[in-house]
Each structure stands twice: as C-alpha cells, then as structure tokens.
Amino acid sequence: MSNKIFEIIKSDLSDLELALQDAVESPVDTITEIGSHLIQSGGKRLRPAMFFLAAHCDRNFNLNRVMPLAAALELIHMASLVHDDVLDSATTRRGEATANAKWGNQLAILAGDYLFAKAFSLVAEQNYSKRVELQLSKLLTDLSAGELIQNKEIYKASCDTEEYFDRIAMKTANFLAISCQLGGDVAGLSEEDIQALYDYGYSVGMAFQLTDDLLDLTGDEATIGKPAGNDILQGIITLPAIRALEMSPDRDELLSIVTDRNMTPAMLSRALEIVKAADGVEFTKAKVDEYLTRAKTVLPGTLPEDISNSYKMAADFISRREF
C-alpha cells in the first residue's frame, strides 16, 4: 500500500515480515523454503494493515501482543492463495513463480495446509478473547466456501448479480471486515465501534474485489501481471460480464463464449469487446464508489483522527488503484 497511508503502522508492517519469516521456520526444510518464497514474493499485506490500524486505537498498544494475530491473518491469506494457484494451475503471481510451479501441486497443497494450521497455532499460543478465535475460524470457513462456490460455477455463467455479491462477500469482504474487527477487538473498543469497523472493512473489501474483477477485464498485462480477461478464460464470471449477459444485444454470443472450456484467444477478445461495449464497466465502477462512500461514512467518529484519516486514505487508494 502507499507509504503515506500507513505512516502509523509502518514499523508494525516491517516487523510483520520478521514474524512471518519466523512462522515458517521449521525443522522440515521444504516448509521453510516454500514459506520464505511466499513471503518474499510480496503482497500488499492489506489484511494485517487494516488490523494494525484499528489495534492502534489502544493507548497501550503492544506490538508483541497483537503481532501473532496479524501474522495469522496474512498466513491464512497466503495459504488460500497457494491453494488458489493450484486450483487455477497458475504459474506466476506478482511476477514470481507460484509454489505449485516451483514445487508441484502436491507440496503446494500440503504447504497451504501447514500455513493454515500455523495460523491457528500462533493464535492458540496467545490469550486473545474467545471471539477472536471464533472470528478467525469463521473467516476461513467463509473463505473456502466462497472459493468453492466460485469454482463450482466455472464455465456455467449461471451466477446472477446477487450470487456474485454473496460470493465476493464470502471470499474477500468478510476477510477484510474481520481483519478490522479483530483490530478493534484487541484494542478494547466498544461493541458499537467494533461493529462499525467490521462494516468499514466489509465495504472496502467489496470495493476492493470489484476493482480487482474490473482490472482483470480492463487492465493490461504490464500493470496487472496477467493478461486481460484471465477470469473469463478460467470460466469465472464477474459483475461486468454478468451485467453484459443481462443487458448486451450480443448476450447470446457472449454466453456461448464464456461457457466454452475451449475458448480461443480470438473468442476471449470478442467477449471482452462485448463486455466493454455494454455498461458493465460503468455499472461496476458505480458500485465501487457506492461501497467506498459507505466505508468512509460508517467509520466510527470516536477513532483518533490520524487512524480515521488513514482508513479514509486506504479507501481512496482502492478506488484509484490500477494493479
């Protein structure tokens, strides 16, 4: 994330890298190797960042106390990406080789399992509240359920707008919501403020995933690190395409392309053309703006000003991001 947004948590995020590295140290060399590769491949560390910001509302903020939970959030995210890359047979992520490309599907699946377990292990070692543990496990059941729905629907184009929103809520929004909520929880904020932070994270998460899905259609390989239309190619129908399937005069042609497992590059180009010619892109951008406005509106008034500003800047950053 942009440096200015996260001045408050800059040193937390830098210490997080050490905590993550520590979490993957194992007498089993392969675990350390795969784990280190994943950590060094980078990532925005968005979930721990959202968590740390809220945690800083505590006047007695203690980094050592909150770090295991921050690391657990990132480990769960990392593990789910490792499994995702196996599911998609992806060979690169963020310009680096994926774990499945480097070590094969078998070790990648097991490394993902290990990272999930390690996340729960880090949290079990601490004395967080019952709710913290509950929310962390709920986060993972929702995450896998969301991915499962998505994978079940590939090449079916059977998803409507409502189902799409449910799916990205389970897959992404809920994770960011719980990251913010947990930060508020460890900071000892009021129930009302914790709920408001959850709502903020949820709205930002929805906007984030919508933007991600939009960039997948409109971005180019140089900026997003994968060719445009990758979702459609993999049979994943996102909001702009759903909208075009409803509204476009060429919707029958689009449907026949997106449900074809043997899609050629020419067919993909044509699908992108149809989606862009419909109002799917504008419709999605409007939804992003709605969610970001909501995110900024629901932020609790009781937050320290610098934290509140950081959360607002994070929301603005998402609406402007191009990668």
Write the interaction track for its own copies spanning residues 227-266; mark x where CB under 8 A is met and - where it is not.
Answer: ----------------------------------------
Write the interaction track for its own copies spanning residues 131-170; mark x where CB under 8 A is met and - where it is not.
Answer: --xx-xxx-xx-xxx-xxx-xx------------------
Write the interaction track for its own copies spanning residues 55-84; mark x where CB under 8 A is met and - where it is not.
Answer: -------------------------x--x-
Instruction: Indicate whether 87 belongs to the interface with its own copies (CB under 8 A).
Output: yes
- Extract the runs of DSSP E, i.e. beta strands, from the chain: 92-93, 96-97
Task: Label residue 166 exposed, middle or buried (CB < 10 Å: 0-12, 13-18, 19+).
Answer: middle
CB contact at 8 A, 233 and 257: no
Instruction: Indicate whether 272 belongs to the interface with its own copies (CB under 8 A).
Output: no
Closer to its own copies by CB, 234 or 238: give it.
Answer: 234
Those residues whose C-beta lies under 8 Å from the C-beta of residue 305, and which sit 6 or more positions away, are none
Enumerate the β-bridge partners of residue 92: 97
Q: Which of 76, 106, 79, 87 is nearest to 150 (CA)?
A: 87
Closer to its own copies by CB, 107 or 278: give it.
Answer: 107
Q: How far is the CB of 195 from its own copies (least distance, A)?
A: 20
Rg (alpha carbons) of the chain, rounded to whole number: 20
Instruction: Indicate whether 121 belongs to the interface with its own copies (CB under 8 A).
Output: yes
Instruction: Indicate whether 106 belongs to the interface with its own copies (CB under 8 A).
Output: yes
The secondary structure of 154-213 as a DSSP string is TTT----HHHHHHHHIIIIIHHHHHHHHHHHHHTT--HHHHHHHHHHHHHHHHHHHHHHH
Closer to its own copies by CB, 132 or 318: give it.
Answer: 132
- Only one of the segments 25-33, 58-66, 173-181, 265-273 lies at the binding site for its own copies (rule: CB under 8 A); that segment is 25-33
Question: CA 238, CA 287: separation in Å to the nearest integer?
Answer: 13
Which residues of this chain interact with its own copies, rule CB under 8 A? 26, 28, 30-31, 80, 83, 86-87, 105-107, 109-114, 116-118, 120-121, 124-125, 127, 130, 133-134, 136-138, 140-141, 143-145, 147-149, 151-152
